[in-house]
Structure 1
Amino acid sequence: MVSFILAVTASAGLGTGLMVTASNPPPDTEWETAIGGSYFDYADAVQQATDGGYIVVGTTYSSGNGGDFYVVKADASGNVEWEKTLGGSEIESGRAVDKTADGGYIIAGKTASYGTGGDFYVVKTDASGNVEWEKIFGGSSYEEAFAVQQTADGGYIIAGDTDSYGAGRTDVYLVKTDASGNVTWDSVFGASGFDHGYAVDQTTDGGYIIAGTTTSYGAGGDFYLVKADASGNLTWDVAFGGSEFDCAFDVTQTTDGGYILVGETLSFGAGSYDFYVVKADASGNAEWEKTFGGSDWDDGLSIEQTTDGGYIIAGNSGSFSVNGDGYLVKTDASGNIEWDKTVGGSDYDCVHALKQTADGGYIVAGETYSYGAIGGDVFLAKVSAWTNTPVGSNVTVSLESSTITFPDVSESGTTTATTSTENPGGPTPSDYYVIEGNFVEITTTANYTGPVTVGLRYDESQVSDEESLRLFHWNGSEWEDVTTSVDTVENIVYGQVASLSWFFIGEPAVAPVADAGGPYLVQVGYSLDLDGSASYHPDGTIVSYDWSFGDNTTGTNVTVSHTYTAVNIYNVDLTVTDNRGVQDSDTTMVVAYDPESGSATGGGWFWSAQGNLKQDPESEGKATFGFVVKYKQEAAAGNLEFQYHVGDINLKSTDITWLVVSSPNANFQGEATINGEGLYTFRVLAKDGDKTGGQPDEFTIKIWQGTDTEADPIYQALNAQLGGGNIIIHDN
């Protein structure tokens, strides 16, 4: 196996139990701060504000009202600029926030102060946190909003739970409002069990994607993904998970039109709970699934696609700290870990939300017991953008399975490597195969000068001759061999390039050997079995056999059956492909005859030109022939005599093996003696010119010593025009 991933991957598939952490150093934490009062306060949502600061929403119990929405505006360094509490005399919980087009904020959560003791509570504020309007949505029982987003039409979409409506004990509740908070429509999704909606995102088609958990479908608690159209009608829904409890907390649409979900799983992974990430296509089909974490509990709560096409995931971990900390995982676009890190102090801290910031870093929010009041405060932390290529000379970036050395870096940046099984350039060299079909793209955001040394690691169990390995680089027009050395101890192939792009490790290709068998003789209209079983591979496995029958039809398999419908001599091609994609082809001949098609006679002479006689290519002179060929009792019969006196050739047939008559031509092959001795094979093509509008008659003959018609003939005359005599094709 050849790997070029920046860091070790998480579990390669569900249920494997493999859990690992990244080997790359993570980015630095720029600052951490606690915000709140003397009692319990925590954050559930965060966004970067338009001025570069941050808006944080959560719940405070320090206000004296038993629990209120807690809205905090912090500057770019985490210093509080203003804070607001929203709610009544009972408990309110702030769950979500979104920046609005007018510079203000839309905030959603749950209220027990208004409505029926448990309803959606939605508040619109200006840029300073002053309330512009507030709305209550729900029925006679319990509702709670967990997500809100401003929609493209200027209104809002709110997602959460309802016990008042729907078919089950709890259902997903989706409410669409106009810009003033007036309900446009609402929808309920779920069935007879418990179904929860924790996240919503407006999709590019104007509809919505909602994520949560379901006990109505799946195995007693699974990820629940719901796609609704722009009017809130169900398009499709799907469950993901295993035999234990699995719950999704966040979802976003990805740039390819699909979706990325994160949550927690008891079904897979290595610990009590683990991060569970599912990438789905636009129709809700799982493309890949990953788990992240350790031997203890790890909960994934927030996910976002990053500007590099990968993903940033946040949650909590008891696996990588004594008391529990916030846990961040950065992956590439395929879910492979690039880095991970914990944030927090010596006591319990957790992260509920995160966003990528304008500088490429990350803002995270949650709760902390390490800092601030004893009862717990809002936790806010800023993490730097990740860089692994610092300023300096001879800077070596060590990725998990590749190394890149820059001679001089003038501006720091990030160097990454991603793999693909699709060839990003032109044809690879035909005498090399790509190890495991892997191509790797190495890129960097650092500014550098001078030639770069690239080393890619290989798995020695996957190659035959390590010394023969070569490193190929796509230079924009072709794959170029840039190899400088092969380290057979560390299993790395090194090369040097002027600029970074795509690479692959190649090993000299040991090709399979195709053998199509034959030649074959078959009567038109009868089935013919063609056999490629004599094909073999000296150092691999043949995985496919592809036949082309010469009549615009094809077949696949080691042995195939085919029926020809027209008289002809067909060239049949067999192409075999091995497990590495290397191919070989062989061509055989099929003679398809019809005993009712006619017969042929001929006699005369032609001038045998120089080059016809292999043993004396300078010789030339008169050659004579005479033949009668026909079918007798459905078998080819007849005789041929051919004389070329200059070359001391007096050929007489002893057998006619096959005959194909197809006006204006007769093709036949047989065995003969020369000068009364030996065994020779001949093949004749005789053309009746009268059948083609009065053109000259032509005679072609090839003679081989022995029976190997793949060898060079000892004599051949091609398309020789007669100097006297004639050729006649007799139609039945």
Structure 2
Amino acid sequence: MLRPSWKTFMLTTSLAAQLACGGAGSDSTETPEQTKGTALAGPHAVRRIDAAPLLKHVDVTALVASGVHAFVGEPTLQANALYSEGSASSIIQTSDGGYAFTGTTNVLGDNDILLVKTDAFMNVQWAYAYGTTTDDSGVEVRATSDGGFMLAGQNYQNNNFDYFVVRTDPTGAIYWQGPFGSTLQEYPRGMEVTPDGGCIIVGKTQSNLGYQNAHMMKFSATGSVQWERSFSSGADGTYEFNGVANAPGGGYVAVGSRQVKVSSTTWESYGYAAKVSSTGSTLFQISSGRFADLEAVAATSTGYVAVGYIYTNTSTFDADFYAVRLNPTTGAVTTGWPRTFSGGTRGDYLSDVQVATDGNYVITGSITPSDTQRNMRLMKLNTSGTVLWNYPPYPSDNTYGLSLARTSDGGYIVSGGYTNPSNTTYLLLSKFSP
């Protein structure tokens, strides 16, 4: 079976650590009295809890107005924010200059999809928990054209996993929501709002026999399923998608991994990408990197850059950063790519990529100095795959980056996690200058 992706592993372990060490939801013994889909308040409210060594507050608005943010070279860490509730998986900047992030919380008695809206200084304005009376978890958040939000998550009930999708207005109130799936197990990994106002979710499906197929499901703006596609080679291979992007000119490109059975006892894994039309017809499928896994993709009209990691030792699972650039028409790997980078540790993982204002690529991820340490990384590559800068070691050894968004001042916001000396994990937001 496929080894869980690094991003999935981090989300699962961070939530488990919170539940075990007094984090999300376990701080209160009161009987939950709130209705799901309403703003969290009182003992259920999301709290900001900044703590050393990550206390860093800067008036980002003042920096932007003064032009001080216009640095040359690697960015500056401008501000951090820690939050006590849940685990985070995705972040965006909102039209008012603030931020919205999604993840998972259990403050209402079982796991729910969390949506938090902050101001430009990362102070909580409101938070919602969405879901059912069974377990739900948040995977991705994106802004809609009316200023609201589209959320992709996962629902578990009756021993079955399904996609769970929520669309809200700008205040977090629900337009529509619901689980979507079949008798198979559906696991969401990435989502994008599509040009027609709907969304596309990618991930994997799994049968009761354990076979895994990479999977796409396209939704309309009103929540109806328009089409779905699976990609596999039957019992001789297992496929999954981890990220997706709208392709300039139409269609969608998704990335992930595939494992191929080469003998009765041997499997080999590869990075995997597929492009489909707006109606789901396959335009190309490619593999890149033996023992690689692709976590995210950024698409421009001249090429698609996917990032993840590649195992350099399959016995000990030593990994290096991995990036590949693909031709937007054929999927062919660009000359000079793929690129492999060592972060200096046995475990170097990239988890998200965005196109920078200058057309190059900014990437977040983590290195693992030891089995008990992680350290957030932020990198910039040009279109040839050359590293333009690599943000120096983060202020704490126990941080990681999962999701990245470009900000209106040309900088970046990264969501991830921070584990304190007591082994409690908190959501971490970090704002970087351009």
Aligned to 1:276: 322
C-alpha distance after superposition, 1:503-560 (max 9, x if no partner): xxxxxxxxxxxxxxxxxxxxxxxxxxxxxxxxxxxxxxxxxxxxxxxxxxxxxxxxxx
- Which of 71, 75, 80 aligns to 1:32? It is 80
CA contact 1:32–1:344 (8 Å) conserved in 2: no
CA contact (8 A) 2:247 2:301 kept: no
1:315 paired residue among 344, 365, 369: 365
Q: Which amino acid aligns with 1:172?
A: A
Q: Contact conserved, 2:377 with 2:394, CA < 8 A, in 1?
A: no
Q: Structure 1 residues 342, 323: CA separation in 2 closer, same or farther (over 3 Å shift)?
A: farther
Compared with structure 1, are the counterparts of its residues 215 and 322 closer, same or farther at alpha carbon in structure 2 (3 Å cutoff)? closer
Partner of 1:346: 396
Q: Which residue of 1 aligns with 2:415?
A: 365
The correspondence of residues 223-622 of structure 1 with structure 2, limited to 5 A, is: 223-242=271-290, 245-256=291-302, 258-267=303-312, 272-282=318-328, 283-287=330-334, 288-292=337-341, 293-319=343-369, 323-341=373-391, 344-370=394-420, 375-385=424-434
2:193 to 143, 150, 156: 150
CA distance in 2, matches of 1:217, 1:236: 22
Contact 1:47 / 1:97 at 8 angstroms: preserved in 2? yes
Residue 215 of structure 2 corresponds to 173
Contact 1:326 1:342 in 2 (8 A): no
The 1:239/1:233 distance shift into structure 2, 3 A limit, reads same
Which of 119, 135, 144 is the aligned partner of 1:100? Answer: 144
CA distance in 1, matches of 2:119, 2:371: 29
CA gap 1:321/1:119 in 2 versus in 1, 3 angstroms: closer
Indicate if the aligned counterparts of 1:299 and 1:317 stay in contact, CA closer than 8 A.
yes
Do structure 1's residue 121 and structure 2's residue 161 form an aligned pair? no
Taking structure 1 as reference, are residues 345 and 369 closer, same or farther at Cα in structure 2, changes over 3 Å only? farther
1 CA distance for matches of 2:206 and 2:371?
Answer: 38
The structural deviation recorded for 1:54 is: 0.6
Whether the 8 Å CA contact 2:404–2:414 is kept in 1: the answer is yes
Amino acid of the residue matched to residue 295 of structure 2? F
Query: Cα distance, 1:135 vs. partner?
Result: 2.3
Q: Does 1:42 align with 2:87?
A: yes
Structure 2 partner of 1:593 = none
Contact 1:147 1:199 in 2 (8 A): yes
In structure 1, give the amino acid aligned to 2:176. Answer: W
State the alpha-carbon separation in 1 of the partners of residues 372 and 151 from structure 2: 34
Which of 39, 47, 55 lines up with 2:100 in the alignment? 55
1:64 is displaced (CA, Å) by 4.5
- CA drift of 1:344 comes to 4.9
Find the aligned partners of 2:228 and 2:327 in 1 and give their Cα distance.
26
Give 1:65 shift: 2.9
Cα drift, residue 90 of structure 1: 2.8
Cα drift, residue 48 of structure 1: 0.6
Task: Report the 3-state secondary structure (helix = DSSP H, G, I; strand = E; otherwise coil) of the residue aligned with 1:221.
Answer: strand
* Aligned counterparts of 1:67 and 1:264: Cα–Cα separation in 2: 29
Q: Which residue of 2 aligns with 1:654?
A: none
Letter in 1 for 2:168: T
1:119 touches 1:137 (CA, 8 Å); kept in 2?
A: yes
Distance 1:92 1:343 in 2: 34
Aligned to 1:221: 269
> 1:84 maps to which residue?
128
For each residue in 1:189-216, what CA deviation from the matched residue of structure 2 results, as whole angstroms up to 9, or x when unmatched?
A: 1222211111111212321111111013
Distance 1:181 1:116 in 2: 24
The number of residues matched between the two structures is 352
Write the distance in 2 (CA, Å) between the matches of 1:139 and 1:111: 12
Alpha-carbon RMSD: 2.6
Deviations 1:584-608 (A, max 9, x none): xxxxxxxxxxxxxxxxxxxxxxxxx
Higher helix share: 2
Could you tell me how far apart the structure 2 residues matched to 1:52 and 1:161 are?
A: 34
- Quote the offset at 1:161 in angstroms: 1.0
- CA shift digits 1:287-328 (9 cap, x unpaired): 111122223211110011211121111111124998211111
Partners in 2 of 1:375 and 1:168 — Cα distance?
33
Runs of 4+ in structure 1 deviating by more than 6 angstroms, as ranges, are none
Post-superposition offset of 1:84? 1.2
5+ long unaligned stretches in structure 2: 1-71
Pick aligned residue for 2:230 from 184, 188, 206: 188
The structure showing larger relative contact order (alpha-carbon pairs under 8 Å, at least 6 residues apart) is 2
Query: CA-to-partner distance for each residue in 1:98-152, whole Å, 9 max, x for gaps?
Result: 1000110100021114x76210011101111122111222111311112222211
User: Partners of 2:375 and 2:73 in 1: how far apart?
Assistant: 18
How much has 1:367 moved relative to structure 2? 1.4
Question: Partner of 2:228: helix, strand, or coil?
Answer: strand
Judged with a 3 Å threshold, the aligned counterparts in structure 2 of structure 1 residues 226 and 70 are, in CA distance, closer, same or farther, namely same
What is the deviation of 1:168?
A: 7.9
Query: What is aligned with 1:728?
Result: none
- The higher radius of gyration belongs to 1
CA distance in 2, matches of 1:321, 1:358: 37
Structure 2 counterpart of 1:222, which letter?
Y
User: Secondary structure of 1:173's match?
Assistant: strand
Residues 51-84 of structure 1 show CA distances to partners (whole Å, capped at 9, x for unaligned) of 01111111124x1433221111111111111111
Gaps of 5+ in 1: 1-23, 386-732
What amino acid is the match of 1:379?
Answer: L
Q: Secondary structure at the match of 2:286?
A: strand
Q: Cα 1:89–1:135, aligned 2, differ >3 Å: closer, same or farther?
A: closer
The one-letter amino acid of 2:288's match is F
Quick check: 1:162 aligned with 2:211? no
* Alpha carbons of structure 1 residues 353 and 90: separation in structure 2 relative to 1, 3 Å: same
Give 1:91 deviation, angstroms.
2.3
CA distance in 2, matches of 1:176, 1:241: 28
Deviations 1:675-717 (A, max 9, x none): xxxxxxxxxxxxxxxxxxxxxxxxxxxxxxxxxxxxxxxxxxx
Could you state the TM-score of these two structures normalised by the residue count of structure 1?
0.46
- Residues 106 and 382 of structure 1: CA distance in aligned 2, closer, same or farther (over 3 Å): same
- What secondary structure sits across from 2:268 in the alignment? coil
- The code of the aligned residue for 1:84 comes to Y
Quote the sequence identity (%). Answer: 30
State the shift of 1:268 in Å: 8.4
Residues 228 and 235, structure 1, Cα contact 8 Å, conserved in 2: yes
Read off the aligned partner of 1:153 and give its amino acid letter: D
Q: CA deviation at 1:341?
A: 1.8
1:405 aligned residue: none
Contact 1:259–1:281, Cα closer than 8 Å, also in 2: yes
After TM superposition, the score normalised by the length of structure 2 is 0.76
Q: Matches of 1:307 and 1:217 in 2, distance apart?
A: 42
Asked if 2 retains the 8 angstrom alpha-carbon contact of 1:116 and 1:141, the reply is no
CA drift at 1:217: 8.0
Q: Secondary structure at the match of 1:52?
A: coil
Work out whether residues 312 and 318 of structure 2, in 8 Å CA contact, stay in contact via their aligned partners in 1: no
